[in-house]
Amino acid sequence: MTTSCPECAADVSFADRPQLSEVVECGDCHSELEVMTLDPLNLVLAPQVEEDWGE
């Protein structure tokens, strides 16, 4: 499954079925992208890491 990067318009491909809220990296511009909707497949720039994230 392929869609375009909202930052640089390059193709972004998924080897497995994408999941809502999944974060992927654009192979061209290296932006972190979040899957916002599945049908249609829509990516947005992922939020920046916040200070309370993680274990």
Partner 1 sequence: MTVRAPLALLASRVRHEERRLIAALERHGASYEQVDTRTLHSGTGDLRWPVVLVREIGSVRARYAAWTLEAEGSRVLNSAQAIEVCGDKWRTSVALKAAGVTTPRTASAMTPEATLAALDELGYPAVLKPVMGSWGRLVTKLESRAQAATILEYVAALNGPQAHLGYVQEFVASHDRNIRVIVVGGEALGASYQVNPGWRTNMAWGARCFRCELTPDLAKLAVSAAEAVGAELAGVDIIEDPAGRRFVIEVNAGVEFTGFDQAHDDVDVADRIVEYTLAAVVDAC
Residues that bind partner 1 (CB under 8 A): 16, 19-23, 34-35, 46, 50-55
Q: Which residues pair with 45 in a beta bridge?
A: 33
Task: Please say which residue, 9 or 17, places its beta carbon nearer to partner 1.
Answer: 17
Provide, rounded to whole angstroms, the least separation between the CB of residue 14 and partner 1. 11
| Alpha-carbon span 11 to 47, nearest angstrom | 20
The H or E element containing residue 45 is: strand 41-45
- Give me the half-sphere count of Cα atoms (radius 13 Å) on the Cβ side of residue 24: 26
Task: Please say which residue, 40 or 55, places its beta carbon nearer to partner 1.
Answer: 55
Provide, rounded to whole angstroms, the least separation between the CB of residue 21 and partner 1. 4
